[in-house]
Structure 1
Amino acid sequence: MTLTLVVHKIRRDNAITKSGMVNKEVYDIPRSFVEKFDRQRLLLRITKEKSESLQDKGIMA
């Protein structure tokens, strides 16, 4: 499954992304999860299930 995210900002420790057209969800992704960024795509080394688990714990918003 692919989740399309728009990269809003890259910071030293994290990447801020947005998903959705109307009700945008904002994700604050720790930089350690970023495998590659080529200015168009952000490739993560994390599963959707793992990201949901981290969201539940408040680690990844």
Structure 2
Amino acid sequence: MRLAEEYDDAQEQGEVAKLGDNLPSVGAVNANKPATAADLGLRRDKIHEARKLRDALWVR
């Protein structure tokens, strides 16, 4: 659960990539891009599992 919270917070702050960040920017040359899950040594499926667990516990 903490993984989900920390990763989501980092996405909101622009510290790690979110959906669509890998799309090319018009006019941007060598733009600084946020780190990806792979850059951090994290697997996206593990982040997804952590989010599912967090969300299931919030429902209760």
- Give the TM-score normalised by the residue count of structure 1: 0.32
Q: Which is richer in strand?
A: 1
The structure in which a higher percent of residues are helix is 2
Relative contact order: is structure 1 or structure 2 higher (C-alpha 8 Å, sep ≥ 6)? Answer: 2
Based on CA coordinates, which of the two structures has the bigger radius of gyration?
A: 2
